[in-house]
Amino acid sequence: MRPAFTVALFALAWLAVSGSFTIPNLLLGLVAGGLSLALIRDHIRPDGRRVRPLKLLSLVLLFIKELALSAWKVAVLVASPKMVLKPGIFAFPLTVDRDFEITLLANLITLTPGTLSVDVSVDRKVLYVHALDCSDPVGARRDIAGGFEKKILEAFR
Amino acid sequence: MLDLVLAVIVAVMLVAGGVFTFLAALGIVRLPDVYTRMHAASKAGTVGSGLMLFAAGIHSLDAAIFTRALAGFVFFVLTAPIAAHLIARAAHEAGYRLSRHTVLDEMRDARERSNKKR
């Protein structure tokens, strides 16, 4: 993302948190965003990566749907008198390779039905995922690769 | 009339949020190991608190409060999975065993392989 876009995002977050939509407050948000970005400038590398808004929106919608479904599944599982569990950790080979994308994918996996990211291998090629129902790791891998990972690749490349 | 509709929506969201949060807590007690417990804490907990935040935002009928509720939800979504992930990872590093129901642990297999190589 470009620095200007990041600062705009920070200012928007500031407006939302402070809850006052006035021009002076927007300016304050922009200045504060710029300063905070300047503070961490040595730790981030700006790249001219494009973000596709429509694909990003579709990722967000998919995420909200999966989050609702996931909470529902866990709630039903916990509320049922006999919990049927086949938990396990499976390895998911990553196609995305940038830190930002791996972080995003790991977070999305954690908030979707029955899966939880546990660790990334040192060489950043494998994501270890804990699943409540690990009876079909092949299918679970295919779901992640065809769902979130594909959408992330579409939105940020 | 609109007041009534809004009140019903807010009430439903509050109760649903409360139920989800309660089930998240129940899951932490009932599930067998730290990994499965993190499932309950991260998912049902996020949705439960999110529903209650939005209910508060809608009830206020104030854009400033609603955006703050929205920001709260976004930060929750950003941080809850990281906390769950770190706890699960720390538990695995510390050698906390998975429950006896566990059918597969490719992470332990990978670590054993790399230990053998050394």
C-alpha span between A52 and A49 (Å, rounded): 10
The residue of chain A nearest to residue B33, with distances taken between CA atoms, is: A87
| A-to-B residue pairs, Cβ atoms closer than 8 angstroms | 144
| Extended strands (E) in A29-147 | 88-93, 115-120, 126-131
CB A91 within 8 A of CB A126: yes
Nearest CB neighbour to B47, from listed A19, A71, A90: A71
Ranges of each domain in chain A: 3-43, 53-156
Chain B residues lying within 8 Å of A125, measured CB to CB: none
B40 phi and psi angles, rounded to 5 deg: -65, -45
B76-to-A111, B42, B70, B73 alpha-carbon distances in Å: 11, 10, 10, 5
pLDDT tens-digit map of B27-63 = 888 888 888 888 888 888 888 888 999 999 888 888 7
Contact B71 A13 (CB under 8 A): yes
The residue of chain B nearest to residue A74, with distances taken between CA atoms, is: B40
The total number of structural domains in chain B stands at 1
CB B89 within 8 A of CB A118: yes
Strand B104-105 to A115-120 pairing: unpaired
pLDDT tens series, chain A, 157 aa: 567 778 888 888 888 878 777 888 888 888 988 888 888 877 766 555 666 777 778 878 888 888 888 888 888 888 887 777 777 788 888 887 777 788 888 888 887 777 888 888 777 788 888 887 777 777 778 878 777 788 777 777 6
Contact B32 A91 (CB under 8 A): no
Position B11 scores a pLDDT of 93
Within A23-52, residue ranges assigned H as helices are 23-39
Residue B13 has pLDDT above 80, yes or no: yes
Contact A88 B63 (CB under 8 A): no
% of chain B exceeding 90 in pLDDT: 13
In this structure, the number of other CB atoms found within 10 A of the CB of residue B12 comes to 12
C-alpha span between A115 and A88 (Å, rounded): 10
Domain that holds residue B70: 2-117
* Shortest CA gap A35–chain B (Å): 21
| Extended strands (E) in B10-89 | none
**pTM score of the predicted model:** 0.75
